[in-house]
Structure 1
Amino acid sequence: MKILIISQYFWPESFKINDICLGLQEKGHDVSILTGIPNYPKGEFFEGYNFGSKDEMWNGMKIYRAKLLPRGKGGISLFLNYFSFVFFAWLKIYRIKEKFDRILVYEPSPVTVGIPAINASRKFNAPYYFWVQDLWPESLQSAGGINNKFVLSVFDKITKLIYKKSEKVLVQSEGFKEYILKQGISAEKIIFYPNTTEDFYKKEEKISKIESLLPTGFKIMFAGNLGEAQSLNTLIEAAEILNKKSIDLKWIFLGDGRNREFLQNLIKEKNLEKNVFLLGSFPATEMPHFFASADALILSLKSDKIFALTIPSKLQSYLACGKPILASLNGEGAKIVNQSNSGFSSPAEDANVLAENVEKLYRLSPDERQKMGENAIDYFKNNFDRKTLLEKLEQILNFK
């Protein structure tokens, strides 16, 4: 079958949809991708790309590049980024000569990625399936800080239109269902379809190349976007609390984002340069080797309704790598950590309870921490296995 994936983000940007495309191709489907010009997360075009970048091939798949304006530092630049993709992707569809049987839309913010899908569905006479990663307009309000009732109303109408014209609405978290039902979408149309993670996320052994980059001591590792939504100041506050207790902890941040400079300043302000390390970005394929050198993996989100409903996609990657997990968040993500017995969770933005959990984990025996890691792998295999979820996606798209 011929499948068109529509996603504003795609390789060489690091998003889970990259692996879903590879997985569908592995299962014998002919996959093409309509996407933008890579500029996430730094807000600048990747090296080798510009506003006029052409279509290209990746692992035997055709990538159609629609023009867009880069994200910049946020604000008005971000909105221009969103709407420029909608405009140019809509036009790009008319230049695509292929025919498609199905269309899969991948939607981390913004929801507007669904607008070109409406056009593609009409042109190719193919149904589109909308995979919701972020709830809109809730995400616009919670993560974007937009409270204008007119703006929120407009995006609510756009979201409902996109959902209603889709064949099915896939949700990455069970917690999304109630919100979407309240937007007038029928229960029969909504399918729980969680994220899996790439095959290379698995338990690895320590390697000297990675070890040489890391400080000595009990290592707590965060990997991913250094953004506002992650409430990373909560982690720094917990680090400060534990530093005063003279516990030899090393907090290691892998990744980049708009809050990197803020973090650097906060670390300096709290005199934590010997405890907290911002190592920058590394290829996703290297993450399991970094995780192998960690004593615990940590994830965090702000205290907000939408984040409580979300399963952070990095959680699946953490589980697959078999390390104890510290979760500073509410809702669905915390529930998974607790159900899996893979670590400890604390309420979002509560640095004191997080610090207590870190110390509790630190004082466990190596065997107890190893058991948590084993529990993590078991839970991943039972709930987020890549092969199983790819087969489920085929069933949703009516290929089986």
Structure 2
Amino acid sequence: MSGTEAVDPTVTRVALISQFFPPEPVPIPLGLTRCLRRQGFEVDVLTGVPNYPTGIVHPGYSHRRPVVDHVDGLRVLRTPLHPSHDRSAAGRATNYLSWATSSTLLGASLLRTADVALVYSSPATAATAALAARLRWGIPYVLMVMDLWPDSVFATGFLTRGLARRVAETTLSRFTDVAYRQAEHVTVPSPGLRETLVARGVPTEKVSVVYNWADEKLMQPTEPDPHLRNSLGLSPDDFVVLYGGNHGPAQDLGVAVAAMGRLRDLTDVHLVLVGDGVSKSALRTTTAQLGLRTVHFVDPVPPERMAAVMAAADIQLVCLADEPLFRITMPSKVQTILACGQPILSCAPGEAARAVADAGAGFTTAPGDPQRLAQTIRLAHATPRAQLRAMGQAGLDHYRLLMSEAANAQLLAELLAAAAAKGGSRPDRKRVRR
């Protein structure tokens, strides 16, 4: 489709900038678009060629050329990148930088017609296109800081020392400082992250906590998947600890596998790991070496099935490496589990553990400690299932009060409207269609 389409100048147009977007398994950016449209905004998406989480380009796409796609009724401009999502620092850096470059150079047709950009800043380099549009056309942007950069780059073992580390740290620190300074407003998903940004010089009044809410149409209390246990040879009486999500260094799932090695006497306790990622092969190898028949690997499932798969388990595992960075970040998995009314076993530091404790939604244990995790699994196993269900309900109540779309969408809408107003009216807007 080509040509131009006149646009109602009374409608605020938002360009969502996110390196990752469905069909990649990243529900938050898509959830943001749905929220904004319900708030009366018009939304377009600037994103990359889908290759997450494996680093392999999804079927039907090419990493060498831009394409205009349509997802969920949205116009989605995908620009090229170097596909990579492995433990290679060079590969990951090339992935991020190649998309930062292509989105800046090829995203102009989408960005210059927007009233305001909303940057889903994971990675931080996703802000490059918005920063360029701000400097070139005066288009304001709101920056959603999901990960603290440059800290998160090094938290999972990339560039741990030497000249490359020093150069990367200095460069990224300067870039993020500029991105914060040029943004009209900055949002963060946890109080701890807000405190950190303020300590680093971002004005207090410029930073707001906007929790990541779950996709509430999909992630809600539901009936258990009738096939999961049968497919794994598990009975209704078996106690199932389920983890669903990325299998990477940050998740430190080796701790959970090692904990299962300390629970051999509890033959009815099973760990089910649903998903994919760069650590999955090593986790399989460790499981085989330990001779564990109580650890099961399940391929990723579509988002529309995930709530039912979770409901087929007794408790949901949240696992993060014991890194200082993760003490101030809130993994979106916490909100997803709370929204589904499921009890949580948190083997994570900081904000994730605090949320579980504050909600009375389950159990917490120190990250990185297989022995203590095994002890906590024993405690959960000994807890009556009615009590576990009550914990799940307490978590759901907590979610609805503080973390739901209803509790956060209006704040985000007000921030975007205020940023767009500062950008001034643009009555000559035209949308270029391809």
Q: Does the TM-score normalized on the shorter chain lie above 0.5? A: yes
Residue 258 of structure 1: how far off its partner (Å): 0.1
Which residue number corresponds to residue 262 of structure 1?
Answer: 282
Alignment of 1:21-100 (within 5 A): 21-51=33-63, 52-75=65-88, 76-96=90-110, 99-100=113-114
Cα distance in 2 for residues equivalent to 1:373 and 1:127: 41
Change (3 A) 1:329 1:72: closer
Which residue number corresponds to residue 17 of structure 1?
Answer: 29
Alignment partner of 2:153 out of 123, 140, 162: 140
Residue 113 of structure 1: how far off its partner (Å): 1.0
Alignment of 1:47-196 (within 5 A): 47-51=59-63, 52-75=65-88, 76-96=90-110, 99-108=113-122, 110-146=123-159, 147=161, 148-196=165-213
Alignment partner of 1:355 out of 374, 377, 402: 374
8 A Cα contact 2:226 2:312, kept in partner = no
TM-score by length of 2: 0.88
The secondary structure found in structure 1 opposite 2:174 is: helix
The secondary structure found in structure 2 opposite 1:201 is: coil
Which residue number corresponds to residue 383 of structure 1?
Answer: 402
Residue 391 of structure 1: how far off its partner (Å): 1.5
8 A Cα contact 1:5 1:103, kept in partner = yes
Q: Counterpart amino acid of 2:78? A: R
Cα distance in 1 for residues equivalent to 2:158 and 2:417: 39
Identity of aligned residues (%): 27
Q: Counterpart amino acid of 1:337? A: V
Cα distance in 1 for residues equivalent to 2:391 and 2:74: 39
8 A Cα contact 1:56 1:63, kept in partner = yes
Q: Counterpart amino acid of 2:58? A: F
8 A Cα contact 2:150 2:172, kept in partner = yes
Residue 98 of structure 1: how far off its partner (Å): 5.8
Which residue number corresponds to residue 318 of structure 2?
Answer: 299
Cα distance in 2 for residues equivalent to 1:154 and 1:182: 20
Q: Counterpart amino acid of 1:162? A: A
Instruction: Give yes or no for the alignment of 1:288 onto 2:301.
Output: no
**Farther off after superposition, 144-153 or 282-291:** 144-153
Which whole-Å deviations, capped at 9, do the CAs of 1:171-216 have from their partners, x for residues lacking one?
1111112321233211111111110010110111124244433441
Cα distance in 2 for residues equivalent to 1:119 and 1:93: 10
Alignment of 1:238-257 (within 5 A): 238-243=259-264, 245-257=265-277
Q: Counterpart amino acid of 2:413? A: E
Which residue number corresponds to residue 235 of structure 1?
Answer: 256
Cα distance in 1 for residues equivalent to 2:17 and 2:81: 14
Cα distance in 1 for residues equivalent to 2:154 and 2:228: 39
Change (3 A) 1:261 1:2: same
Q: Counterpart amino acid of 2:174? A: K
Residue 97 of structure 1: how far off its partner (Å): 7.5
8 A Cα contact 1:215 1:250, kept in partner = no
Instruction: Give yes or no for the alignment of 1:225 onto 2:246.
Output: yes
Cα distance in 1 for residues equivalent to 2:144 and 2:266: 46
Cα distance in 2 for residues equivalent to 1:179 and 1:337: 21
Residue 70 of structure 1: how far off its partner (Å): 0.2
Q: Counterpart amino acid of 1:139? A: S
The secondary structure found in structure 1 opposite 2:417 is: coil
Identify unmatched segments of 5+ residues in structure 2: 1-11, 422-434
Cα distance in 1 for residues equivalent to 2:61 and 2:87: 20
8 A Cα contact 2:251 2:320, kept in partner = yes
Which residue number corresponds to residue 424 of structure 2?
Answer: none
Which whole-Å deviations, capped at 9, do the CAs of 1:349-369 have from their partners, x for residues lacking one?
011111111111111112211
**Farther off after superposition, 84-93 or 251-260:** 84-93
Aligned residues: 397
Residue 141 of structure 1: how far off its partner (Å): 1.8
Cα distance in 2 for residues equivalent to 1:71 and 1:369: 40
8 A Cα contact 1:210 1:289, kept in partner = no
TM-score by length of 1: 0.96
Change (3 A) 1:72 1:307: closer
Q: Counterpart amino acid of 2:17? A: I
Identify unmatched segments of 5+ residues in structure 1: none
Residue 59 of structure 1: how far off its partner (Å): 2.1
Q: Counterpart amino acid of 2:222? A: E
Residue 278 of structure 1: how far off its partner (Å): 0.6
Cα distance in 2 for residues equivalent to 1:313 and 1:96: 28
Which residue number corresponds to residue 431 of structure 2?
Answer: none
